[in-house]
Amino acid sequence: MRYSDLGMADKILEVKNLEKSYGGKKVVKGISFDVKRGEVFGILGPNGAGKTTTLEMIETLRPIDGGRATINGVNVANDPQKIRYMIGVQTQSTAFMDKVKLTELLEQQAAAYGEKTDVKKLLDDVDLGDKTDSYIESLSGGQKQRFSIAAALVHQPKIFFMDEPTTGLDPQARRNLWDLVQKIRKDGTTIILTTHYMEEAEVLCDRVAIMDEGQIVAMDAPKNLVQKLLKKGFKKEQHVEQANLEDVFIDLTGKDLQD
C-alpha cells in the first residue's frame, strides 16, 4: 500500500507541515504524515533527527511553531486539554516517585484524569498482578517498562505514544514487551512508537516513517521499504544462516521472561 492510497482510510492523527525551531535552528522541517485508527506506526531515525520533538509537539508538551496536528479532528494547538484526555504517553520509569506502591501510583495517575480505575486489573494486564504492594524501585528494568505502560493506559487513551520503549532492556524483556504491544494493539488502541532497533520496527509496525535532519525521508510498510531497496539493485553480502547470535542467546537462556 502506498502513502497516497491512505486517503480513504480512517485517520486518527493527521500531521501537516509541522515545524519546530530551537534558537533559530529548524529541528522539524515541515513534516506531514497520517496515522490510521488501530495501526502501529513507527518513527525511526538517528539521534537528533527530530523524532522526540515531533512527538512532544503532538503530545501538547511543546508549542507548535508551524503547521498543525489534529487528533480525532481536534487541533492540538487549539485544544490541548481535550487532547490530553485522548492520548497516553509512556514515560521513563524514573517519572514515578519512590516509596509509593504500584497500586497507589496507578490510583494517582487515574486521579489526574479525575477517574477511579481498577488498578488490580491494570497490573494483571501487564503481568504485574503479584506486585501490587511493591515500590517502583524494587522492579527490574522490564517490569518498570511494563508498569509505565500500565500507567499510561489508566484512562483508556485512543492513541498510545511510546518513545524508545525497549532501550536498555535485555532480549527476553524486549520480546516480552513486543507481546504486550501487540496485545494493546489488539484491544483497539492506536500506537505510535520511536525506536532505534530496526528488528523491533519490522516486528511491530504496520508502517514506519524514517526521519533524518528534521524531515521524513521515507514512509511505508517495512516490507515495502525493503522491496523498494531490493528493486534498486541493492545486494547485501549473503550469509545464508537461519539463525543469528540473538537466537542462540534466547535458545540458551530461555524464551521466557527472566525478571
Partner 1 sequence: MRIFIAVLIVVVALRVLTRRFPRWLSIGRYSPTRTNSSGRVLSPWERQLHTVVTFAKISVRRYFRDRTAIFFTVAFPLIFLFVFGSLNGGNNSVSFNVALIDQSRTQFAQNFDNQLRANKMFKIAQNVNDLNQAKDRMSKSEVDATIVLPPDFGAVKNGSNPSGQAVIYYDQNSAQAAQTVSSVMEGIFQGINAKYVQIKEPFSVVSKSTNTQGLSKMDYTVSGLLGFSIIGLGIFGPVNYFPEMKKQGVLRRLHITPLRVWQFFVSSVLSNAVIGLFSIAIMLAVATAVFNFHMVGNYFELAAFIIFGILTIFGIGLAIGGWAKNENQAAPLANIVTFPMMFLSGTFFPRYAMPEWLQHVSAYLPLTPIIDGIRMIATEGKHLTDIGPQLGMTLVWGIIIYAIAFRVFRWE
**Sites of contact with partner 1 (CB under 8 A):** 59-61, 79, 81-82, 84-85, 87, 89, 91-92, 94-97, 99-100, 104, 107-109, 111-116, 151
Nearer to partner 1, 55 or 211 (CB): 55
Nearest to 153, CA basis, from 204, 201, 119, 200: 119
Nearer to partner 1, 37 or 82 (CB): 82
Nearer to partner 1, 118 or 179 (CB): 118
CB of 179 to partner 1, least distance (A): 24
Nearer to partner 1, 39 or 56 (CB): 56
Q: How far, in Å, CA of 115 to CA of 140, rounded?
A: 28
Nearest to 138, CA basis, from 167, 166, 175, 99: 99
With contact defined as beta carbons under 8 Å apart, do 150 and 125 qualify? yes
Nearer to partner 1, 9 or 86 (CB): 86
CB of 194 to partner 1, least distance (A): 16
Nearer to partner 1, 30 or 80 (CB): 80
CB of 60 to partner 1, least distance (A): 7
Q: How far, in Å, CA of 157 to CA of 90, rounded?
A: 11
Using CA atoms, how far residue 20 sits from 78, 80, 199, in Å, is 17, 17, 29
In the sheet that holds 207-212, the strands lie side by side as 87-90, 159-163, 190-195, 40-44, 207-212, 215-220
The cell for 227 is 522491496
CB of 88 to partner 1, least distance (A): 8
CB of 160 to partner 1, least distance (A): 12
CA angle 40-41-47, nearest 5°?
135
CB of 117 to partner 1, least distance (A): 11
Question: What is the enclosing helix (H) or strand (E) of 90?
Answer: strand 87-90
